[in-house]
Structure 1
C-alpha cells in the first residue's frame, strides 16, 4: 500500500468530520494511525479496506480521489496497443513493433507477439480470402504459453484471453475458454467479472456455431442466458444470446419457427441504425451458415 494514501485518507477523514478514534479504532493503534496519515507507514490491504469501509467508500472511488479526481489509468504500452488497435491505427502499431523488435523481458516478448498478430490481422483484412487467416505459429505459441503458465487467472488474464483468444485453433480456444469460465466462478458477485464472463460466452458460443460444436452450445447456453439477463451488462450480448438460442434450437429441431425468430432479431438490428449494422451483418452470416447446415442435413 502506497504511503501517500495515508495523507489522502487524512484529507477525506477531516472533510467528513471523522475523528482518528472513530476511523481507526479496532483496526490499528493511535500511534500507527498518526504515522500512517503522515505518510510514514504503509498499511496492509485488509486493514486499509476496513478503513475505507468506515469512510463508506469503495477502492475505485478512493483511487479516483487520490489521483486528483482523475482516472488513474496509466498510459502503458499495453494501453497504447489497445488504443491503436481499437482505432485501426496500423502506423502506431508498426512503430511499437519496431521499438519492441529486440524484447528485453518476457513481457516485451508477449507484447511483440501481440503486435505481430495484430498487424498481420489488419493487413490481411484488406484482402478477400476464402480460407481463415493463418497466423505465425511462433507468435501464437507465445501467447498460449503465457496463459497456460498461469495457474490462477485474475480478471487481467481473462481480459487478455478475451482480446487474443481468436488467434488460437478451436480446440485450444475451447480449452482456455472453459478454464477462464471456471476460474471466474470465484468472482460471481464481482460486477466487472460478470461483464467479462458475458463477453467470453458471447465470443465462444458464436465460434462454437462456426465449428458446429453443438455440445458446447448446449452446455453453456443457459450460463449465457443467466449472465446477460440484466441488459445493463450489454444489449448486444443479450441480443446475441437470444439469437444463439434460436439458431441452436433450429439446427437441433429443423423447426422453421426458431429460424424466423433469429431473422426477426437480425432485422431489428438493421433497423436500429448504422451503429448496429456490423452486428447485424454478422448475424446474417451466422443465420445463412445454419440454414446451409440444416439444408445439408435434410438432403442427406
Structure 2
C-alpha cells in the first residue's frame, strides 16, 4: 500500500503544482514537507484543504490510497511516447493488454483513456495489422474527446491526453479542442512542464494541419 504523503506528492507533481501552491495559507513549509515525506499527519481540516488545492475529492483520494498499483500519468505518457518512437508492435500490444487489465481490475478511467489512445496509435502506426479506417480511429479517440470537452479545467493529465491523441482527431475536433487549450488550462504555479507540453501540442497541431494540406 502506498503512503498518503506519497500520493499527495504524486498528485501535486502530476498537476505541475509547486509545494508552495498547496501549503500556503494552510500549513507551514516545514509541516508540508513532513506530510509529503509521510512523517506527519495533518489535521482533518487541513487535509481537506490540501485535497481542495489538489482538485481531488476525498473519495478519489481514498481509492488511490487503497489501490495496489498507482503508475503516474507521466509514466504512462512517457511510455506511450517511447512506444511511438520505437514502433515495436509486440510492445504496443503488451501495453494495451496491461491498460485493459488495469481498467478491469480498478475501474480507473485513466487506464481506459490510455487504452483507447494506445489502440488508436497502434492502428495508426501499424495499418497492415488491421484495415486502417479513419472512422475507426475517430471512434477509438471519441472517449478522449468527450472527456476533454466535459472537463472545465485542464491539468497536466488533460494536456497529456490531448497531446497523445492529436493524430486521431478530425481537423474540426482538433480546432475545437485547440481553442479550449488556452481557455481551460490551469494557471500553473510551476510552468516548466506545462509550457513544454503546450509547445509540443501546438507543434503537432501545426504539423497535422500541414500534412492534411499535402
TM-score, reference length from structure 2: 0.56
Which residue does 1:203 correspond to in 2?
204
Structure 1: 5+ residue stretches without partners: 6-26, 49-71, 127-131, 213-288, 290-300
Task: State the Cα deviation string for residues 202-249 of structure 1 (Å, max 9, x = none).
Answer: 22233344556xxxxxxxxxxxxxxxxxxxxxxxxxxxxxxxxxxxxx
The number of residue pairs the alignment matches comes to 160
Does the Cα contact within 8 Å between 2:166 and 2:205 map onto a contact in 1?
no
Aligned equivalents of 2:74 and 2:84: distance in 1?
15
Are residues 198 and 165 of structure 1, via their aligned partners in 2, closer, same or farther at CA, if it must alter by over 3 Å? Answer: same
Matched, 1:193 2:173: no
How far 1:176 moved relative to its partner? Answer: 0.4
Matched, 1:113 2:110: no
Which residue does 2:151 correspond to in 1?
150
Aligned equivalents of 1:146 and 1:40: distance in 2?
36
Which residue does 1:159 correspond to in 2?
160
Are residues 194 and 188 of structure 1, via their aligned partners in 2, closer, same or farther at CA, if it must alter by over 3 Å? Answer: farther
TM-score, reference length from structure 1: 0.42
Matched, 1:141 2:142: yes
Aligned equivalents of 2:110 and 2:38: distance in 1?
36
Aligned equivalents of 2:115 and 2:72: distance in 1?
22
Greater C-alpha radius of gyration: 1
Task: State the Cα deviation string for residues 126-180 of structure 1 (Å, max 9, x = none).
Answer: 9xxxxx9625143121221222221110122112211211101000011101101
Structure 2: 5+ residue stretches without partners: 9-26, 51-70
CA RMSD of aligned residues (A): 4.2
Query: Using CA pairs below 8 Å that are at least 6 residues apart, which structure has the higher relative contact order?
Result: 2
Q: Within 5 A, what are the aligned runs for 1:116-265?
A: 116-124=119-127, 134-136=134-136, 137-184=138-185, 186-187=187-188, 190-210=191-211
Which residue does 2:18 correspond to in 1?
none
